């Protein structure tokens, strides 16, 4: 074992370290799926790998539990891949460089992937434990959760006989999650007819923002780098005529973008930089209380002839960037502090012939999600740009009289001395998709403490992993 040697539970960290050495960004699932199948073979357990690279491993009931209903333990194999500007990691080839900081495991300059690798590691430790007491276990490892729950959406529900599911993709150990948002993806494409312009190249960069998960952290007021650049470019119109070369920010729809770089051409680069700097300072002062690490850079390049967007495309880009809704749209009135509806412009990419804007939409109400899609469709129609919505996944609605909820609360209290707080969350969980696949499913979502997921500051608390692992094992003992 490497850097995590000596941490407890030892076998959980053993598997997490092995998993972290395998490149497993969303869309790159072959290696980690093969690893799971090899694990099952070594343990002598039946396993199935489907066309979406989901892996299902079956462990028979321990002695005395043969007549108990099977329990599904579930986590996802993929991770969000984000890195600092200084990191030279190749997420397609390299593993994660793990570090220990006090009671936390984190990564060196990248996301950690504890979301949701730590769940996979915990389930593997249970699968290999010959002394554990439990009903038959169906271990479900899904793929490409972070880009639309794609693996879960392609599952064959007939592969599951149990009606109890423990999802291990939650991030606050004191909480018992019993409901989550549904969501969809919304993409606008603005066609570009490249032109040329004589002038000075200027690059404006906004960076150093927190970023974060567009579900669980959307209510924290973190600044979206794409939206911020829309504000800057709108102001820049009052400073000077300019033409855009490119706008680029974010690479995951469900991650609040923390960096954006815009390239443009102006007549006098130095005069433009001097005129816009006071505004950038004003913005910095305005957001310093919630984004203390915010940095902006204005780089004046060479004079020359550059390929730029046509004026019509530029007008549409700056309009949508500045006017599109973003962040929290509505709060629940029935569940305190629950964000009910939100959206995040997570990806903005300039290519040779188009600019693509990719939004992640979420709502705990299906009708509110449709209304938000309609609002964006109306904006796209007004701007005369192409738009489509896809990747819909259903909300997970609260189940009253849940046996699994009652049993977990009892087990948690025995370990921790208090009952967990029962909550609904705004983030999407696969429980919604799986409930559609397996009628009558009784779900809960739990997990160890993880902070700043989907960012380069992601960390998981070591002691909470041991706590949740022991609670899950004790819970399984009670499932007779």
One of 78, 291, 449, 458 is an active-site residue; which one? 78
Lookup: tokens for 464: 């909470």
One of 145, 171, 291, 326 is an active-site residue; which one? 145
List CB contacts of 90: < 8 A, sequence separation 6 or more: none
Torsion of CA 140, 146, 151, 154, to 10 degrees: 130
Question: At which residue do the structure tokens 């960096």 appear?
Answer: 259
SS3 104: strand
The answer to whether residue 145 is catalytic is: yes
Helix 10-20 to helix 462-478 angle, to the nearest 10 degrees? Answer: 110
Question: At which residue do the structure tokens 């002691």 appear?
Answer: 463
CA distance 16 to 469: 13
List CB contacts of 334: < 8 A, sequence separation 6 or more: none
SS3 277: helix
Q: 10 Å Cβ neighbour count for 50? A: 15
DSSP letters for 44-98 = T-EEEE-TT--EEEEEPPPTT-TTSPPEEEEEE--B---B-TT----TTT----E
Q: Are 367 and 374 in contact (CB under 8 A)?
A: no
φ and ψ at residue 18, rounded to 5 degrees: -65, -45
CA distance 223 to 209: 7
Q: How far apart are the first and last CA of the chain?
A: 35
Q: What are the residues facing 328 on neighbouring strands?
A: 342
Catalytic machinery residues: 78, 145
């Amino acid at each position: 074992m490497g850097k995590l040697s000596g941490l407890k539970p030892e076998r959980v960290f053993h598997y997490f370290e092995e998993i972290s050495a395998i490149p497993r960004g969303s869309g790159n699932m072959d290696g980690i799926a093969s690893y799971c199948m090899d694990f099952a073979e070594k343990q002598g357990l039946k396993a199935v790998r489907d066309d979406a690279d989901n892996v299902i491993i079956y462990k028979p009931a321990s002695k005395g539990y043969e007549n108990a209903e099977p329990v599904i333990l579930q986590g996802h194999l993929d991770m969000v891949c984000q890195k600092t500007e200084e990191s030279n990691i190749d997420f397609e080839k390299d593993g994660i460089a793990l570090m220990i900081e006090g009671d936390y495991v984190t990564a060196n300059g990248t996301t950690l992937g504890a979301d949701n690798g730590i769940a996979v590691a915990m389930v593997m430790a249970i699968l290999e434990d010959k002394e554990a007491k439990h009903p038959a276990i169906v271990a479900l490892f899904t793929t490409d959760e972070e880009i639309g729950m794609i693996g879960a959406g392609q599952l064959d529900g007939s592969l599951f006989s149990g009606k109890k599911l423990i999802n291990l993709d939650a991030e606050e150990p004191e909480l018992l999650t019993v409901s989550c948002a549904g969501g969809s993806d919304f993409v606008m494409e603005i066609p570009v007819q490249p032109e040329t312009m004589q002038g000075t190249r200027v690059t404006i960069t906004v960076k150093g923002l927190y970023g974060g998960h567009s579900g669980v952290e959307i209510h924290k007021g973190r600044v979206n780098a794409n939206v911020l650049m829309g504000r800057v470019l709108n102001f820049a119109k009052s400073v000077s005529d300019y033409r855009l070369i490119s706008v680029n920010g974010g690479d995951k729809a469900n991650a609040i973008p923390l960096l954006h770089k815009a390239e443009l051409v102006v007549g006098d680069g130095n005069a433009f930089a001097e005129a816009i700097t006071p505004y950038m300072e004003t913005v910095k002062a305005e957001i310093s209380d919630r984004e203390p690490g915010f940095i902006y850079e204005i780089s004046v390049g060479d004079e020359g002839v550059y390929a730029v967007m046509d004026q019509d495309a530029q007008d549409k880009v700056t309009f949508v960037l500045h006017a599109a809704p973003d962040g929290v749209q509505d709060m629940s009135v029935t569940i305190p502090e629950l964000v009910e509806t939100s959206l995040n412009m997570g990806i903005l990419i300039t290519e040779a012939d188009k600019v693509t804007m990719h939004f992640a939409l979420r709502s705990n109400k299906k009708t509110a999600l449709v209304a938000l899609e309609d609002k964006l469709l109306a904006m796209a129609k007004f701007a005369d740009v192409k738009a489509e919505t896809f990747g819909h996944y259903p909300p997970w609605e609260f189940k009253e009289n849940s046996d699994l909820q009652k049993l977990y609360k009892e087990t948690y209290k025995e370990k921790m001395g208090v009952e967990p707080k029962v909550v609904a969350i705004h983030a999407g969980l696969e429980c919604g998709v799986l409930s559609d696949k397996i009628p009558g499913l009784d779900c809960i979502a739990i997990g160890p403490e993880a902070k700043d997921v989907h960012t380069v500051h992601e960390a998981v608390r070591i002691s909470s992993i041991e706590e949740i692992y022991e609670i899950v094992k004790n819970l399984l003992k009670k499932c007779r």
